[in-house]
Structure 1
Amino acid sequence: MNKTHKVIVIGGGYAGMLAANRLRMRDDVDVTLVNPRPAFVDRIRLHQFAAGTGEATVDFGTMLDDGVHLVVDTATRIDTAARAVRLASGRELGYDYVVYAVGSTAAAPAVPGAAEFAVPVAELESARRLRDELDALPPEAPVTVVGGGLTGIETAAELAERGRRVTLACGGTLAPSLSAGGRRYIAKWLSRHGVAVVEAAKVVEVRPDAVVFDDGTTRASALTVWSAGFAVPELAAASGLSTDDLGRLLTDETLTSVDDDRIVAAGDSAAPSGLPLRMSCQVAGPLGAQAADTVLSRIAGTEPPVLDVALVGSCVSLGRHAAVRQFARKDDTAQNFYVGGRLGAAYKELTYKLGVLKIRREARKPGSLRWVKGGRQVTGPVSAAAPATPTRTASPGR
């Protein structure tokens, strides 16, 4: 009798969904997807959802292979000795392999008052709260967005285009991952739409009705949005597995845990060789595919492929009618070339749609995903204590 291999995929984001569908390349693999929500969250649209200009959830039934079992629950511990995933409901799921794809969330702010009075936009629940609070505010009420990265820019731009009075507090350079030309384009767009950009000063306190900067100035803020930094869930550390300083699961270059070869990581929660790639939808899909390929290789008794993925730029929306498509080298360093305006917006909308379409295509035809390669080369052994040395610049976290 042929053995059925039980694989638990923890996390139904871009990486987890892609991995779950791809694992169906073999009929003898029983795949269970564990996710705390009953619908897929298209996170790159959360700023639209919060601003009231779009939706950010998709029915799982339209995206999963029919052979994938969905369990709506939260994993609380991976018991490696018993080979079981323990759930918040009290259930226990046995496994032969685990794909660890828990994703990322908003970083807990250390700034006084931020946890109490600022609203993050990194998850569906917080984005819904932000949407509700915006609906309760008069249009002229001042809103502050803290964080000058891509998420902060997109949120500020979406609100400004809706007629909100917005201050964008960068705490440093606006859009630091983009080229100088791309940054100038964004700065001009924000200025034309009335967004006050504060680059030099940092927010040191958030009050119910204001934000305080380190230069001593105070700005009125009826609502403060926090988009400064990302964190990851603590499941790996809670399960006794080795993690990096942020809590991402430490793996080798096949995405296999340095502690247990039956646990494979993907997406924002993976730290291959202690050198994680930038947190992004662009990376999550290929990492999910490679995690599935590693599991399938181990089942087949063959050597798993090493991580091979390149980042080729980023795209930041500026409301509904403009965006910047920043091109980059394969190591994720920005080139001095970007596309802006309506053409950039069309490109951005295409990336939105492709994120979901690639997962759906993998459900219809497991193994179909292809991606750009050649952006990462790591040499030397990896361990939890001594990560390998990259031969190229590692992609920064977002």
Structure 2
Amino acid sequence: MTEHTTVVVIGGGYAGTLAANHLRLREDVDVTLVNPRPEFVERIRLHQFVAGTGTATVDYGSLLGEGVRLVVDSATYLDTTARTVQLASGRLLDYDYLIYAVGSTTGMPATVPGIEFAFPIAELEAAQRLRDALADLPTDAPVTVVGGGLTGTEVTAELADLGRPVTQVCGGALAPPLSEPGRRSVAKWLTRHGVTVLQDVAVTEIRPDEVVLTDGTTRPSALTIWTAGFGVPVLATASGLHTDALGRLLTDETLTSIDDDRVIAAGDAAAPSGRPLRMSCQAAAPLGAQAANTVLSRIAGTEPAVIDQGFTGSAISLGRRAGTLQLARRDDTSIDYHVGGRLGAALKEGACRLALWGIRREAAKPGSVFWTRGGRRSDQFEGAR
């Protein structure tokens, strides 16, 4: 009788779901996916969900391959000595290998007075609270979006497209991952739709009806949305594993924890060689496949490959009828070329659909996943195995 290997995947986002499907390349691997929700969350659509212009959840039944067991629960502690996962329900799961793919959350800084009055958006439950608050808000009430990144800009644009008065406080530059021409294009769209964009100024205090800025001025804000930065769940830190300053699991270039070669990380919560890739769906899914490959190599008794991954650019939606696709080199540095307007919107929508298509294809045919390579070389980093 063939001995089976038990693999537990913590986190059912883009990285974890892809990893779970990819592990089915071996028939003697039992795969359990642990996720706190019974549905997959398309985080790249949460701005649509908040604005009421789209949905952001998908049934796992259409995403997981045959044999992958879904456990709807939250992991609270990893005992790497006993090789068990403690769940919030009190249940224990045994594992031979564990893939740590817990993703990321909104970084809500406790040092900002009144931060409790702001609404985060990075998780479904937070997005639902924000959606409800917006539904109760008059359409002419002023809204402030804190954060000039791609998430903040998409939220700003989605609300402005509905006619809401929005101020976007960027802290630094608007949409920094874009090239200068790309940023100018986005800024023009926001201006045409009545958005006040404040660059090189930050929010120092949030009040129920206004925000205070670093220059000492205040602006009315009936509702404040916080998108400035990301955080990471504390599971790895609480379990005694080494993490970086943000809480991402420290690994080598094969995505293996520096503490335990039975623990492999993927997605936003992984920090290979202390140099994590950009937090994004574009990075997460390939990292999930490569984390699964590391597990499969260890089961087979072969040396795991170092990660080989590149980027193609960034895509951002501007409401439902416009968007910007920014092209980039494989090392994720932008070039002076972007596609905007309706074609940009169509390309962004295509990218969103492609993310789910890739997961479904991997469920139907394990090993079919593909990704851009060549953006990260193992000889750039210390600690590569």
Residue in 2 that maps onto 1:248: 248
Tell me the SS of whatever aligns to 2:19.
Answer: helix
Q: Which amino acid in the other structure matches residue 238 of structure 1?
A: A
Q: Which amino acid in the other structure matches residue 169 of structure 2?
A: A
Task: Give the whole-Å Cα distance in 1 for the aligned partners of 2:114 and 2:101.
Answer: 28
Residue in 1 that maps onto 2:371: 371
Tell me the SS of whatever aligns to 1:21.
Answer: helix
Q: CA deviation at 1:110?
A: 3.7
2:145 touches 2:167 (CA, 8 Å); kept in 1? yes
Residue in 2 that maps onto 1:358: 358
Residue in 2 that maps onto 1:153: 153
Residue in 2 that maps onto 1:189: 189
The normalised TM-score by structure 2 is: 0.98
Task: Give the whole-Å Cα distance in 1 for the aligned partners of 2:262 and 2:193.
Answer: 51
Tell me the SS of whatever aligns to 1:40.
Answer: strand
1:83 touches 1:95 (CA, 8 Å); kept in 2? yes
Task: Give the whole-Å Cα distance in 2 for the aligned partners of 1:270 and 1:202.
Answer: 29
Task: Give the whole-Å Cα distance in 2 for the aligned partners of 1:111 and 1:159.
Answer: 28
Q: Which amino acid in the other structure matches residue 22 of structure 1?
A: H
Q: CA deviation at 1:217?
A: 1.1
1:111 touches 1:203 (CA, 8 Å); kept in 2? no
| Cα deviation digits, residues 22-75 of structure 1 (max 9, x gap) | 001111000000000010000000000000000000000010012000000000
Q: CA deviation at 1:176?
A: 1.1
Task: Give the whole-Å Cα distance in 2 for the aligned partners of 1:112 and 1:311.
Answer: 34
Q: Which amino acid in the other structure matches residue 33 of structure 1?
A: L
Task: Give the whole-Å Cα distance in 2 for the aligned partners of 1:330 and 1:114.
Answer: 40
Q: How many residues align?
A: 384
1:168-207 matches, within 5 Å, as 168-207=168-207
Distance 1:179 1:262, change over 3 A: same
Residue in 2 that maps onto 1:276: 276
Is 2:49 the counterpart of 1:49? yes
Task: Give the whole-Å Cα distance in 2 for the aligned partners of 1:3 and 1:314.
Answer: 44
Tell me, which stretches of 5 or more residues in structure 1 are unaligned?
389-398
2:181 touches 2:336 (CA, 8 Å); kept in 1? yes
Q: CA deviation at 1:378?
A: 3.2
| Cα deviation digits, residues 106-163 of structure 1 (max 9, x gap) | 0022453443100011110111111100000111000000000000000000000011
Residue in 1 that maps onto 2:165: 165
Task: Give the whole-Å Cα distance in 2 for the aligned partners of 1:263 and 1:111.
Answer: 33
Tell me the SS of whatever aligns to 2:274.
Answer: coil
Tell me the SS of whatever aligns to 1:337.
Answer: strand
Task: Give the whole-Å Cα distance in 2 for the aligned partners of 1:326 and 1:289.
Answer: 25
Distance 1:242 1:174, change over 3 A: same
Tell me, which stretches of 5 or more residues in structure 2 are unaligned?
none
1:160 touches 1:193 (CA, 8 Å); kept in 2? yes
Task: Give the whole-Å Cα distance in 2 for the aligned partners of 1:378 and 1:182.
Answer: 31
Distance 1:326 1:109, change over 3 A: same
Q: CA deviation at 1:177?
A: 1.4
Is 2:328 the counterpart of 1:328? yes
1:111 touches 1:205 (CA, 8 Å); kept in 2? no
1:172-321 matches, within 5 Å, as 172-321=172-321
Identity %: 66
Task: Give the whole-Å Cα distance in 1 for the aligned partners of 2:298 and 2:148.
Answer: 42
| Cα deviation digits, residues 285-328 of structure 1 (max 9, x gap) | 10000000000010011111110000111011100011110000
Q: Could you list the runs of 4 or more consecutive aligned residues of structure 1 that deviate by over 4 angstroms after TM superposition?
A: 380-383
Residue in 2 that maps onto 1:66: 66
Task: Give the whole-Å Cα distance in 1 for the aligned partners of 2:381 and 2:213.
Answer: 45
Is 2:30 the counterpart of 1:26? no
| Cα deviation digits, residues 212-247 of structure 1 (max 9, x gap) | 111111110000000000011011111111101100
1:100 touches 1:265 (CA, 8 Å); kept in 2? yes
